[in-house]
Structure formats: C-alpha cells, structure tokens
Structure 1
C-alpha cells in the first residue's frame, strides 16, 4: 500500500512550489498515469497525500480527490489543514468527514519553526486526534527536535513522520539526524514513513548500498510495527523513480520476517489510517 501518492492536476489547482524544479514544473501527474506506471509492480492500493497546492486551493483539492477515491485503487486521502488558525478547523474537520479523509498534514518545513510551537496549533492538533485521525509530520532533519516537542505536547495524537525525517544523505549528516530519530522513536504514538529518501542522495547514488545504514537505523529504532511505506510520486522522480524505489525497498527489507515485511507493506497503514 502506497501511503504517499501525490497527484498533480494543473488545470484545477496551483502548485507554486514546483516552479523551480524542472522535473515537476510542467505537465500533470494523474491517477491514470500512476496506475500505468505501477502496473505489475505489486501496488495493491494507495492513499493520496495532499500535494502542497497553493493556499487558496487546499480545500478544493480535497473535495476533488474525494471524487476519485474508490477508483484505480485509491483508498482514501490525507488532506491539508491549517492548525495554526484560530477559526475554521472544526468546520473543515466536519466537512472532511464526508470526503474520505483518513488523515491530515500541514507541511512544516516550509513554514517558520515557531508555527507548531503555538498553543493554537497544538490545541487544534489534539482536535484532529480526538476525531481519530492521524497527522503526518513533514519536517527537515534539523527540525526533528521541534517535531519531538510537538509529539510530546500531543501524546494522544497518532503522528507519522514523513520521509524518515528528510535525512541529508548526500552530505552524510548521519549523527544529528539519527539523534532526532531516536528521540521521536522513543514516543510510542509516533510512526515513520519509509518514503522520499532517494531524492536526498547525491545524483546517481540512490542505491540499496547508499541507503542501507539510514534505513537500518529507522528499522532498529521504530521496529517494523511502526513503519509505513510511501512512494512519494512524482517527487521520487528527483531520486530513483517510483519503480526503482519499489525495488530498492524490497532489497532493504529482504532480511525481515515475512510478517514484518507485510506490516510495513500495508498492515501498519491499515491500522494507522483506518483503510
């Protein structure tokens, strides 16, 4: 199960963040495109991950995606939200109850560090948890201590750390990242998403050998029962590409027991996201 499938429909929404990334700056990346790409690759179902659309479009995106859920293996969506705002979250939670939403995300690495430290943000995050929905945490490696602060302040909220905490693999910045992973893994309500990391390798080095110690550290600290898998398409094209990432994942997890591999492949996602 792919828990991190982006889709891009430029005729409907704005994607300002893609303008400086040639591989993503033009063209659509649709559900039909994804299905053609993954045919025969073993992807049984997907969860759409909000694609960082321009602020004016984030609710429109969730309403549109809701109409796609149930087709081409799409099982649900993780929608964008704005927990920092004083009003509006309750109404958005109510509406999302009818939009096949299985979780929420606010991309934090493009926002000021103080955003998630506000009492308003944390109070609203607890509301998401009270609704029984997970929250994906998307931060840079340097922000992992801030993510740990947030997790400790919201102990009843199921959190999923995206992209293994965005390690700087190209720069070999292992120690500080590993310490941040250790702090989050010590909190039982935090899980981690094995996704996106080939894009953090130096060009041409996104291989099983390069990624091994980083993934092994995540496996050791979180254990197979708190890891989900994500493709991160089409952003994964900046690294290995999706089909290559599927193959690398198989190599990296080959030493696990069958039930452990199955937990990461889909069992944990079914539990965490309720799909």
Structure 2
C-alpha cells in the first residue's frame, strides 16, 4: 500500500529559528530529512509533503525554498503565509511561483480567534483559489466553529483540516468535538487529515482510545475527503513514526483496499495536486 505522508515537519535549527520549540524541550533539536526517511521508508512511506514549522517571520519564505529543493521524495510543501496582511497579494505571488508549493497555512491554534474573522483575511484567502493552492486549517477543537466560519466564507478554496481538529482525546471530550466536526464536514470544500492524533491522548494510549475519534472522522467526511499524515516529529512525543503507521493500519482493519488507498495516497494526490509537477 503506497503511503503519502501529508504532514511532515523538518527542523533545521542551524538554518532557521523556531521560537515555539523552547516550550517543547522534547522537540527542541534537529529533525532532518535523513532522520525522518530512515524511519519512513521502513514504515512503507513513499513520499511526504512538508508542512511549514512556524519559523520566525524573516525565515518563512526561505524555509519553503529550502525544503522544496531538499530531496525528490519531498513531493511538495505547504508554505507559511499571512492572509491578515494588506500586502498578502504580493506574498501569494511569490509563494505560488516557488516550484513544489502545493498549499498554504497560517497557524491559527495559537492565534486569537479574531485573527481569521476579519473581512481582509477571507478576502485574501479567496485569492489562493486562482492558483489552485490548498489551505491547511490548523485549529484547536474549541476553534472548529471559527474554522468552519472561515471555510464557509471561502467556498472556492480547498481546506484541509489538520489533525482531525485536534481533539482532546486524553480528556475524553468527545461530544462537543464530534458535533463541531460533523458541522465542519457539511462544507464540501473541507477535507480532513488523520495525522498524529496519538499526541493528544494519554502517554499510555491504546488502539481503542483512538478508534472512536478516527471512525467518527471518517464517518463525517467519507472516504474521498480524508488524507493521512504523521505529524512527525510531534508524533514522537508519545509514539514513534512506525507505531503511528501500524496503528492506522490496525484502525483500518476490515475496510476495503480501495478505501485504504484513498486515505493513504489517492486523495492526497488529488487534493494537493502531487502528480501535477513532482
């Protein structure tokens, strides 16, 4: 089964600054592509999509240019952007011109909810549809209604919700998340990424701890709007890359080969246009 990892982060502290990592000591070190690929290849991963890592402002475009030229097994990149800025149109033109850029992301889960609610934010985000770029929607579970409102105001933009909407699995806060995720899935321009959700469970999590969250996500979005991601190296906080792949396979036991292909590769190829030029 071909696997495309749609959520890879690489950390090169000798090149770029990552201020947020000072608050996460376990991740505050280099995570290079060779480090990742040694594990990924063993797990059956054939290609990966790099997701921006919230570097400092002055490093954002440099990070994208670096990762898109790093290794041919990196099938593309989702670049950092700032739709809240008046000069976003110029930024978009620069990013869209970088070979290998497949989508954009603006971190929202550590930002005030109001950031994405301005008319300017939606107006700017609507511009990316003309470039056939996706927008990775990274919000906390409590922010799902905020994210839904943004996606509803940008109907021509393909959104991909990261990490199943970051559910509080450890706190077992299922019902509110489940309702909000269902409402999100009602928007046809939103897909979802089943990516590294073991990081939101207790350290001694089991397969059954994750099962209802994954099953509900697939039930809401269907097999044609789900993609798979590792969220490496965040997934290493209480698992490892190989274990997350094995866990996903176990959660899919009993589903058809065609359904698994959709989740593991085919939807990613379509949504992120991974066969277009890479």
TM range (shorter): over 0.9
1:108 counterpart residue number: 108
Match of 2:32 in 1: 30
- Specify the alignment match of 1:90 in structure 2: 90
Name the stretch that deviates more: 157-166 or 234-243.
234-243
- Matched position secondary structure for 1:44: strand
Counterpart for residue 168 of structure 2: 168
User: Aligned residue for 2:18?
Assistant: 15
Out of 55, 58, 62, the position equivalent to 1:56 is 58
Residue in 1 that maps onto 2:244 = 245
1:143 maps to what in 2?
A: 143
Task: Tell me by how many angstroms 1:69 deviates.
Answer: 4.5
SS at match of 1:129: helix
TM-score by length of 1: 0.96
Structure showing greater relative contact order (alpha-carbon pairs closer than 8 Å, 6 or more residues apart): 2
1:182 counterpart = 2:182: yes
Partner SS, residue 26 of structure 2: coil
Displacement after TM superposition at 1:95 (Å): 4.1
TM-score normalised by L of structure 2: 0.95
Kindly indicate whether the alpha-carbon contact (under 8 Å) linking 1:82 and 1:89 is maintained by their aligned counterparts in 2: no
CA distance in 2, matches of 1:168, 1:178: 11
1:35, 1:203 → 2: CA distance? 25
Per-residue CA shift, 1:223-252, capped at 9, x if unaligned? Answer: 111000001100101122111000000011
Question: How far apart are the structure 2 equivalents of 1:94 and 1:53?
Answer: 18
Alignment match, 1:118: 118
Contact 1:68 1:74 in 2 (8 A): yes
Distance 2:98 2:57 in 1: 21
Structure 1 portions without partners, runs of 5+: none
Structure 2 stretches of 5 or more lacking a match? none
Contact 1:24 1:234 in 2 (8 A): yes
Contact 2:126 2:157 in 1 (8 A): yes
* Aligned pairs, number: 271
For 1:155, the equivalent position in structure 2 comes to 155
Q: Provide the rounded CA distance (Å) in 1 between the counterparts of 2:95 and 2:245.
A: 34
